[in-house]
Structure 1
Amino acid sequence: MDVNLDGLFRFNDSYDYDDDYTYKDDDPESQSGEDVWIPLVYSAVLILGLFGNGLLLVTLALKKRAWRTSDTFMLHMSVADVLLLVTLPLWAAQATRSCGWCIGLTLCRISAVIFKVNFFCGIFLLAIICLDRYLWLVHAKQLYSHKKPTLVHLSCLSVWVIALLLTVPEWLFMALERHPWKEERTQCVLSLYPADKRLASRLPHHVLSAVAVIVIGFSCATPWLQRPAKTLRKRVVTLILVGVFSLCWIPYNIALVADTFSGAGNTSDGLSGLPQRTSLTVTAALGCIHACLRPLLYFALSGDFRKWTLAALSCVIAEPKGSVWELGVGDDASLEQSPETEELKQIASVEQQVQSKIST
């Protein structure tokens, strides 16, 4: 049997095998999981957060005649959360758009600054609240009083100023870079490749975060050890707020410390730092979730806040007494009700009983 192979050997056109083995970035199966879960998480947080913080701000507006010290702190925390929530659509768009971050470097820097300001406002204000409760429960002293609100406003203003000063690295080093394996995409990242530059820029963040954690931990633990039966309700509310904040933000700070002191990220392509960047992305999303949780915690823990919220939804005027947050910050309890005075009264009564028995 004759086989004609002339046509086979006469075929001289070259074949480009690279076309068959080129990674197709637009293949749906090759899309990163971040393209799916980041928009879903941020969308849910945005909806719940705006609704909850909106009700919180309305509640504060309705009770402005009965304003307390705790309300001032809650106002600033809520404003910081709302600012963070407004930036979430930008981060979600970066994950879904084929071009990545397509809205310019200015918004990139502003979004990063707001993210960091939210964290520092939250942790510093919690530290102040815990410190005030510690001084009252242990030493019968108060930092704040609703009759003298100037110090409260100055403290909150100082927290905002310090938080903004700590965002200087974001203003200087945030940059738009090509994605490591999706070159048509740009991403908004903190461009700190040299290890010494990364450490110098993040050292204030790590040091002040550690100081705030120490203050919160000491202020919360000491009253429980010394006076476990006093003002249980307010301490439980404070501990739950601190616990939820810690669960949401501690993972991000651990990932940030690991990224700061690791040798990854020193190359311009960023491939060696992918695990660190992935962990920072995941833990940052967890930190953003906290922006929608605080109003839910208030609603679950504070009966007065539920009354104010339901009154706001039904357009009914409610008049609860005192602060609706049950934190006890700046409550002008008389010294007769202080823990220290109560102990002195008990000692005096015991001495009187002893003297009366001796005299008889």
Structure 2
Amino acid sequence: MSMDVELDGLFRHNTTYDYDDNYEYKDDFEPRDSNTVLIPLLYSVELVIGLLGNGLLLAVLAQKRRSWSISDTFVIHLCVADILLLATLPFWAAQATQRCGWCFSGFLCKICGAVFNINFYCGILLLGCICLDRYLSIVHAIQLYSRNKPWLVHISCLLVWILSLVLTIPDWSFVIATKESEKTLCVHKYPQSATDWQLVSRLLHHMVGFLMPTAALIVCCTCVLPRLQSSIKGIQKQRSNVVILLLVAVFFLCWMPYNITLIVDTIRSSSKEPNDGNPEGSLKTALMVTSGLGCAHACLRPLLYLGLCVNFRKRTLAMLKRATVESEISLWELGVGEEVPPDQSHEGKEMEQMTSLDQMPSTQCA
């Protein structure tokens, strides 16, 4: 019986097998884009700081609810708008981290997209109301908001919310969850038959939400600051206006990169064939990062109050120590609704001094 083994056939078959063409190896630990780390980290920090800060604001306002001032009304509306924005940050962070992208419902996508712009419009319009009151009060001695007309401030805030909702109608219509590059993303998507809506929506955002308020606030500030410097009691008024100016400055510093990037995208979209409103490449990345920076104002505003407003800081410490504070002084030092006597202006003081000099007896010259 023969025990020989023929290996000729085994060694003769020396053809190679191409694994690249027939087998795809998917590494579960493949390197990810830096945005999947940067965006969630940014949103997480903003969410924690923002909820803590705005929660503290609401707690202080709730403790002071029996003696709310006009400044308190504006602050609570800004606080509510910021909390609504902060509530959407976990969904945007999840979209950046998950492989499926937007894994939630389409209706939730529309809500998150609308809330993003509602917060932007509410923030700039409410700050505009505060600056307008300061401008009329200091420059023209006209009291727009006062304790005698509390209904006016509520109507102003209601109109701000209504206008913000109207301006976000395109977001309710054209923000959808759509599949792009094997991922579902919550983005603005305009069909070819609605390209005019894209241009109208962008123009409203740039004009009503950024350029016009910026010009108005610059005019108000340039008119108010010289009057404060020439006023005898200008130092006391300057403190409230410094708080307002810093609030406005932080708002614009946070939102300006996003608006500039959006203007570039608008020019790019209008100068070539429509691309459903979805930027590509580096521009898309810039929009993601700058929108995250824009949301940072929601957590920076409470920090500004703590750093600049002495009365708010004292009331916060008293609340944490469970001490009762029965003071009706302004917590925010915004000066909104405070009565301004007509003789506070520089010209009024000069006329008063001239009148008093004319009425002085001349015996001192003897």
Question: TM-score band (shorter)?
Answer: 0.7 to 0.9
Relative to structure 1, is the Cα distance of residues 276 and 192 closer, same or farther in structure 2, using a 3 angstrom cutoff? farther
On the 8 A contact 2:188/2:277 being kept in 1, the answer is no
Distance change in 2, residues 1:317/1:340 (3 Å): farther
> Which deviates more from structure 2 when the two are superposed, residues 85-94 or residues 203-212?
203-212
Code of the residue aligned with 1:49 in structure 2: it is: G
Kept in 2, the 8 Å contact 1:94–1:101? The answer is yes
Amino acid at match of 1:137: I
- 2-side partners of 1:18 and 1:197: how far apart? 46
2:23 matched to 1:15?
A: no
Is the partner of 2:218 in helix, strand or coil? Answer: helix
The aligned counterpart of 1:324 is 331
Is residue 2:187 matched to residue 1:189? yes
Say yes or no: does 1:249 pair with 2:251.
no
Larger Rg: 2
Mind listing any 5+ residue stretches in structure 1 that lack a counterpart? none
Structure 1 partner of 2:206: 206
| Cα distance change, pair 5–273 in 1 and its aligned pair in 2 (3 A) | farther
Q: Number of aligned residue pairs: give it.
A: 349
Tell me the CA shift for residue 11 of structure 1: 5.4
Distance 1:316 1:223, change over 3 A: same
CA, structure 1 residues 221+16, in 2 after alignment: closer, same or farther (shift >3 Å)? same
Alpha-carbon RMSD across the aligned residues, in angstroms, is: 2.8
Residue identity in the other structure for 2:136 = L
1:333 to 1:321, Cα distance in 2 relative to 1, 3 A: farther
Secondary structure (helix, strand or coil) at the match of 1:17 reads: helix
Q: TM-score, normalised by structure 2?
A: 0.87
Answering whether residue 280 of structure 2 is matched by residue 266 of structure 1, we say no
**Is contact 1:304–1:320 with CA below 8 Å preserved after alignment?**
no
Are 1:46 and 1:292, in contact at CA under 8 Å, matched by a contact in 2?
A: yes
Name 1:93's counterpart in structure 2: 94
Correspondence for 1:235: 241
Which amino acid is 1:234 matched to? Answer: S
Measure how far apart 1:26 and its partner are: 4.7
The gaps in structure 2 that reach 5 residues or longer are: 1-6
| 1:133 corresponding residue in structure 2 | 134
Percent sequence identity over aligned pairs: 46
Alignment of 1:37-76 (within 5 A): 37-76=38-77
Query: 2:229 aligns to what SS in structure 1?
Result: coil
TM-score of the superposed pair, with normalisation by structure 1: 0.88
Residue 265 to residue 172, structure 1, CA distance change in 2 (3 Å)? farther
| Number of the residue aligned with 2:143 | 142
Query: What is the CA–CA distance in structure 1 between the aligned matches of 2:169 and 2:349, rounded to whole Å?
Result: 49
1:123 Cα offset (Å): 0.4
For 2:351 and 2:137, locate their aligned partners in 1 and report how far apart those are by CA, in whole Å: 16
Higher mean displacement: 274-283 or 312-321: 312-321
Q: 1:265 to 1:42 in 2, by over 3 A?
A: farther
TM-fit CA distance, 1:16: 5.1
1:241–1:267 Cα change, 3 Å: closer
Q: Select which of 280, 305, 317 maps to 2:287.
A: 280
Compute the displacement of 1:131 (Å). Answer: 1.2
Query: Following the alignment from structure 1 to structure 2, what is the Cα–Cα distance between the partners of residues 191 and 132?
Result: 39
